[in-house]
Structure 1
Amino acid sequence: MKLPEQLWLEDYGLVGDLRSAALIGADGSVSWLCLPNLDSPSVFGALLDAEAGFWRIRPAESETSGKQRYWQGSNVLDTTFDLPSGQVTLTDFMPLGAGTLQSDLKAVRLIRRVQVTGAACDMVADFAPRPQYGKAARFNAENGLVSVQHGQQMWFLWSSQPHEVSKEKHAAQVHFTLQPDQTAWFALIEQPLSLEPEVLKELLDDTHRTWANWLAAGQSRRTLGDHPHRDLEIRSALVLKLLSSPGGAIAAAPTTSLPEVLGGSRNWDYRYCWLRDSTFTAQALHHLGHREEAADLLKWFGKASRRSKPRNLKIAYTIAGEAVPAERALKWLGYKGSRPVHIGNGARNQKQLDVYGEVMAAYFDSVRYGKMELDDQVWQEISGLAGAVCDLWKRPDKGIWEARQPGQQHTYSKLMCWVALDRAVKLGEQNGRKVPGKWKKERDAVREMILDRGFNPDLNSFTQTFGGTTLDATSLMIPLMGFLPPDDVRVLGTLKAVQEHLADGALVRRYNGGDGMEGQEGYFILCSFWLISAEALCGQVKLAQQHFDEMLGHCSPLGLLAEEITPDGEHLLGNFPQAYSHVGLINALAYLQQAQGRFEQDDQPLLSGTEVTE
């Protein structure tokens, strides 16, 4: 059995069921899937190492990759192989909406359909799961099912085609011939079930309908019509929803340890709910009309955060709202030789003060747009966060980039502390609540210190840290958060400094100083979209459009984005797909449309930087 090659990230598509998600390669391989949940150990891990498990279905006569496309307005994925005699189309999806059928069908986790047009085609399916990040599993075949067991965990493979099991290779392989009028079905299930193709077809239709209905519900709440980049905006929304859970948590990405530097050790586990990433994700979905996600996230956050005092707010939680596991290294795995792979995250206990501002901005939007009532419990949560900021904002922290070195006075962290207090004051005043005078006093003190110590006159720019000389792309958020107006000379100076010293056209690095870690990282996609947003807001609309068009060339053929772009600008890099990158795209497009006058009067972007507090 030949192992699949490790593809570049732009050659994968993502499917999911809001509990977990799978990456499907253009070669027909399931190369990443963790079960039962997104942050569980992988069952298929070939994304990180070819020996770590895969499930490939392909034409026997060809090993070339196919072309992938999503069904319109859906997370159902087709991979089509062009052959001299016709075409083979592989359809992958993880079922949604099983509640309309018998409840045990929720155990069906991944379904693969194979269809042929033209002449008959010989096919081969290789099923080689390796649970627990690459461990061998025990195989058995009985009653038409192949069972896979590792420890106490067990999965089953059902197929409309008979299987030949090779226990020596710890894999199942199927050779079959498919006629143009035939359909082959495969399903990965968590308990032994007797399935019928008609039931799987119903699950496919139900899943596609569920995605389409979710998308349509958001579109119906917007007055803005179609625009040239609507399909890309829709794909970003569907990616963000894939990373959401029914409980309200939103993961930063579905993968772990896709590297920031090829061959390096900057490999981190992003399968958790970072408060920063998730609140911005909810905000972007809010703008697109999917406003329940923001309220659900805050309800989830309220439950998760009650385990600790507001001053001890965690930067991230598991999808279940528990503490992120301690970081450990899996030295036998690594994407394209980038070792080690990490599971858990060593930044879990870092103090990052900016999260207070991002969470408060989410409360502000949800109350402002009627998706959350400012009742006594919500006001108590807001008051606790604001009080914590009053006590903590002067302290050093690790900052948004999670530097693994001593804390510093990060300008962006102070900016978001100001946002936290500013939005808390506004929420109270606009809803008849008594606002402590200390909140206003500390808000003004934060503002004064940022202006006094965060701006470097010699560089004519805000800097990464107070009194520092390192430029940081987070300074672009100053006008976007409403801290200063976009025509302020300090804002314009900062924008120019980023353009000249951090950017190569649309591609932007996070900062130009050291971070205490080895290796040169690539261009950070979110920072590119911050640049575009700031350019649009500051009146450089033509340049913003030019840079946006340039960034479109770095999207995958399916419209997906990773965390970074390689230093040569050729490939996607980092965990994939990355929620923050798609958030950046949605928001940058909103600022562009606003600058170009494309918004109706009552449909302004739902972004927190629309008002400036002097």
Structure 2
Amino acid sequence: MSTLDQALIGNCGYAALISRQAEVTWACLPRFDGDPVFCSLLGSPQAGSGYGRFAIELERLARSEQEYVRNTAITVTRLYDADGGAVEVTDFAPRFEQFGRTFRPMMLIRRVRRLAGSPLIKIVVRPVFDYGKTRPSITQGSNHVRFVGPDGVLRLTTDASITAIADETSFILEDELTLVLGPDETLPHSPGETGAQFYEHTCTYWQEWVRSLAIPFEWQEAVIRAAITLKLNTFEDTGAVIAAATTSIPEAPESGRNWDYRYCWLRDAYFVINALNRLGATKTMENYVRYIINLVATNSENGLRPVYRINGRADLHETIADSLPGYRNMGPVRVGNQAYEQRQNDVYGSAILATAHLFFDERLRRRGDESVFRRLEELGEQAVAVYLDPDAGPWEFRGFEKVHTFSTAICWAAARVLGAIADKLGFGERAQYWRSRAEEIAEAIKEQAWNEQRQSYVASFGGDDVDASLMLLYEWGFLEAGDPRLASTVKAVEEELRTGDFLYRYVHEDDFGRPHTAFMTCAFWYVDALAAVGREDEARRMFERLLESRNHVGLLSEDIDPLTGELWGNFPQTYSMVGLINSAMRLSKSWEEGL
């Protein structure tokens, strides 16, 4: 049975999931939104039972353990048989500096080493194409196997027996072997030498990257793992940030809430970039700002969409991949995301707030100038034009639209920051203009989003329901820590949405009925709000318990069953890892206090 007990590897070009039994259960090639050539996470594909797998199988497997090499994106999985035999499988995607630039090939390297006894293993390599519809044709060379699909070729180069791989026969692992899966290209060196060199270089890259982070004193391991995970969900070539590496992991069992998250939501990406910037990962932020500026330059006349492909296109028409049965046979498996057609008025604020760093962060190589500001003003005008319009909101409701407080509030935050940018550039008249627009939007929120009877801000103008996004009114500075309306809104949210240590996004019915799982990042928003209203001890206790919800290697998905603690939803979810980082940064003792 599939579970989210998986580790993520990648190199900012593609990503793969590795199970606790050393199987590659998910890998889209040649990039995040590509064809899942390994897809057993979503069941056995139509192409044939047992296909879509890349496994190192140990006969008489008794137990396994898995961990990351410290401060890296390299996983180590150890398999133990019932007779004292043991093997170690090291998985990674090469990434390191070479010839003055970053080398990140579409390559998966697996190093298999005997640890003890006489382990009997089988190597199973069964890629599929066309979302599980097509098996490859196979050709062999003296040291490689080629898997030929309709649109390309994968080559496995190895120092293992080609016959053992092609025929899937078991053999005693005597020492160490290396498997290099990648493009149909000849390796310049032997697989063993390539694997050893690339391992050392990749290990050094990640450990040096981690050394540059400005981490809190407490919860360092959790923050480092979250930061690496966010980095792994960035597509360096264009700067895009994906929401998650997977598609169609249900938000709850048999819910039909199965979505494709392998794309760049401007809202999610803004939160990711903000978190990485707090940690000092400025290069990732600069890459994303480049992506945003390109989007604005090509879409300013027609307005921004909520979500784009990692190449900047919005052709995300949603289809069903009938050839895959789905996670635990809980289809459908969706490709594309119809949310790109929705009206989500927060997109303008999300783009402005992400790009604003160019004007205030002195560390950045590229600084904001008048030309960038004018482009942001175009987005600001669009935000001002729609802040009172109904939209699908942050939860992307498919069946109705309302004037969502979240969307209006981020339009307010955008207008306010545009005023600050204008001040920074010495444009006094424009600064006054944007301050007045911010005041106008703020008044609308105060008048129409405040529910006097509930003594709380509510999820939509004139509504009665609360949602977890109201906690962000403090994050954006709309409500200050001492404001009694913040405390009363926190109280209303916890009374309606909190279950144990978790928070639902909302509890009212939507297009699919009532939600049955809690949304992980909402609990972190709530933790931050607790600290803001003076309940810091409670916030710290809850944060510590939330950390226990991570899987065995420190990763979180989008959703969680508040009763069982089982993770659900696409994985690993950047939103959730962002929440962890932000809460740790806010709650941690200072280095001076801790030392």
TM-score tier after normalising by the smaller chain length: over 0.9
Q: CA deviation at 1:568?
A: 2.7
**Equivalent residue for 1:119?**
117
Q: Retained in 2: the 8 A contact 1:161–1:174? A: no
Q: CA deviation at 1:145?
A: 1.5
Q: Retained in 1: the 8 A contact 2:91–2:109? A: yes
Q: In the alignment, which of 342, 352, 368 is matched to residue 344 of structure 2?
A: 352
C-alpha change, 1:106 and 1:476, in structure 2 (3 Å) is closer
Q: In the alignment, which of 4, 27, 30 is matched to residue 33 of structure 1?
A: 27
Q: Retained in 2: the 8 A contact 1:154–1:190? A: yes
2:405 partner letter = T
1:317 aligns with 2:312: no
**Equivalent residue for 1:59?**
58
1:184 aligns with 2:145: no
Q: Retained in 2: the 8 A contact 1:311–1:389? A: no
**Equivalent residue for 1:234?**
224
**Equivalent residue for 1:94?**
93
Aligned length: 579
**Equivalent residue for 2:9?**
15
1:557 aligns with 2:552: yes
**Equivalent residue for 2:139?**
140
Q: Could you report, residue by residue, the CA deviation over 1:394-440 in whole angstroms, capped at 9, with x for unpaired residues?
A: 21111011100232110111111100101111111133124434423
**Equivalent residue for 2:569?**
574
Q: CA deviation at 1:101?
A: 12
Q: Retained in 1: the 8 A contact 2:2–2:328? A: no
**Equivalent residue for 2:471?**
476
C-alpha change, 1:540 and 1:319, in structure 2 (3 Å) is same
Q: In the alignment, which of 496, 500, 510 is matched to residue 495 of structure 2?
A: 500
Tell me the distance in 2 between the aligned counterparts of 1:518 and 1:475. Answer: 22
Q: Could you report, residue by residue, the CA deviation over 1:28-48 in whole angstroms, capped at 9, with x for unpaired residues?
A: 110100110110011001011
Tell me the distance in 1 between the aligned counterparts of 2:380 and 2:101. Answer: 47
> The residue matched to 2:312 in structure 1 has which SS?
coil
Q: In the alignment, which of 241, 244, 266 is matched to residue 234 of structure 2?
A: 244
Q: CA deviation at 1:575?
A: 0.5
**Equivalent residue for 2:485?**
490
Q: Retained in 1: the 8 A contact 2:259–2:334? A: yes
**Equivalent residue for 1:202?**
197
1:175 partner letter = S
Q: Retained in 2: the 8 A contact 1:279–1:294? A: no
Q: Could you report, residue by residue, the CA deviation over 1:505-552 in whole angstroms, capped at 9, with x for unpaired residues?
A: 320000121222246331100100000011112111011011101101
**Equivalent residue for 1:604?**
none
1:15 partner letter = I
Q: In the alignment, which of 74, 80, 101 is matched to residue 76 of structure 1?
A: 74
C-alpha change, 1:107 and 1:280, in structure 2 (3 Å) is closer
> The residue matched to 2:329 in structure 1 has which SS?
coil
**Equivalent residue for 2:390?**
396
Q: CA deviation at 1:311?
A: 6.0
Q: In the alignment, which of 123, 127, 130 is matched to residue 129 of structure 1?
A: 127
1:509 partner letter = Y
**Equivalent residue for 1:212?**
207
Q: TM-score, normalised by structure 2?
A: 0.93
Compute the RMSD of aligned alpha carbons: 2.1
> The residue matched to 1:22 in structure 2 has which SS?
strand
1:347 partner letter = A
Q: Percent identity?
A: 30
C-alpha change, 1:98 and 1:162, in structure 2 (3 Å) is farther
Q: Retained in 1: the 8 A contact 2:344–2:394? A: yes
1:412 partner letter = F
Q: CA deviation at 1:189?
A: 1.7
- Once structures 1 and 2 are overlaid, which stretch shifts more, 556-565 or 192-201? 192-201
1:429 aligns with 2:423: yes
> The residue matched to 1:545 in structure 2 has which SS?
helix
Q: Could you report, residue by residue, the CA deviation over 1:299-340 in whole angstroms, capped at 9, with x for unpaired residues?
A: 111112222126611111111111142100123421012211
> The residue matched to 2:356 in structure 1 has which SS?
helix
C-alpha change, 1:435 and 1:258, in structure 2 (3 Å) is farther
C-alpha change, 1:340 and 1:67, in structure 2 (3 Å) is same
In the TM superposition, what are the counterparts of 1:370-449 in structure 2 within 5 Å?
370=362, 371=364, 372-436=366-430, 437-449=432-444
> The residue matched to 1:75 in structure 2 has which SS?
coil
Q: CA deviation at 1:111?
A: 0.6
Would you identify which runs of 4 or more consecutive aligned residues in structure 1 move more than 4 Å?
100-103, 105-108
Tell me the distance in 2 between the aligned counterparts of 1:532 and 1:599. Answer: 21
> The residue matched to 1:270 in structure 2 has which SS?
coil
Q: In the alignment, which of 280, 284, 302 is matched to residue 271 of structure 2?
A: 280
Q: CA deviation at 1:91?
A: 0.3
Q: CA deviation at 1:365?
A: 3.2
1:471 partner letter = V
Q: CA deviation at 1:265?
A: 1.4
**Equivalent residue for 2:48?**
none
> The residue matched to 2:241 in structure 1 has which SS?
coil
Tell me the distance in 1 between the aligned counterparts of 2:90 and 2:347. Answer: 40
Tell me the distance in 2 between the aligned counterparts of 1:587 and 1:98. Answer: 29
1:508 partner letter = L
Q: In the alignment, which of 259, 266, 271 is matched to residue 257 of structure 2?
A: 266
**Equivalent residue for 1:367?**
359
C-alpha change, 1:312 and 1:102, in structure 2 (3 Å) is closer
C-alpha change, 1:519 and 1:40, in structure 2 (3 Å) is farther
2:345 partner letter = L
In the TM superposition, what are the counterparts of 1:282-297 in structure 2 within 5 Å?
282-297=273-288
C-alpha change, 1:283 and 1:310, in structure 2 (3 Å) is farther
- Once structures 1 and 2 are overlaid, which stretch shifts more, 512-521 or 291-300? 512-521
Q: Retained in 2: the 8 A contact 1:71–1:78? A: yes
C-alpha change, 1:465 and 1:107, in structure 2 (3 Å) is closer
Q: In the alignment, which of 340, 347, 353 is matched to residue 332 of structure 2?
A: 340
C-alpha change, 1:576 and 1:435, in structure 2 (3 Å) is farther
Q: Retained in 1: the 8 A contact 2:131–2:323? A: no
1:307 aligns with 2:298: yes
Tell me the distance in 1 between the aligned counterparts of 2:179 and 2:100. Answer: 19
- Once structures 1 and 2 are overlaid, which stretch shifts more, 517-526 or 264-273? 517-526
C-alpha change, 1:106 and 1:522, in structure 2 (3 Å) is closer
Tell me the distance in 1 between the aligned counterparts of 2:528 and 2:207. Answer: 29
Tell me the distance in 2 between the aligned counterparts of 1:592 and 1:310. Answer: 42
Tell me the distance in 2 between the aligned counterparts of 1:419 and 1:117. Answer: 56
In the TM superposition, what are the counterparts of 1:579-590 in structure 2 within 5 Å?
579-590=574-585
Tell me the distance in 1 between the aligned counterparts of 2:34 and 2:120. Answer: 35
Tell me the distance in 2 between the aligned counterparts of 1:342 and 1:409. Answer: 28
Q: Retained in 2: the 8 A contact 1:28–1:56? A: yes
Q: CA deviation at 1:174?
A: 4.5
Q: CA deviation at 1:184?
A: 1.0
> The residue matched to 1:400 in structure 2 has which SS?
coil
Tell me the distance in 2 between the aligned counterparts of 1:102 and 1:315. Answer: 32
Q: Could you report, residue by residue, the CA deviation over 1:382-401 in whole angstroms, capped at 9, with x for unpaired residues?
A: 21111212222121111011
> The residue matched to 2:516 in structure 1 has which SS?
coil
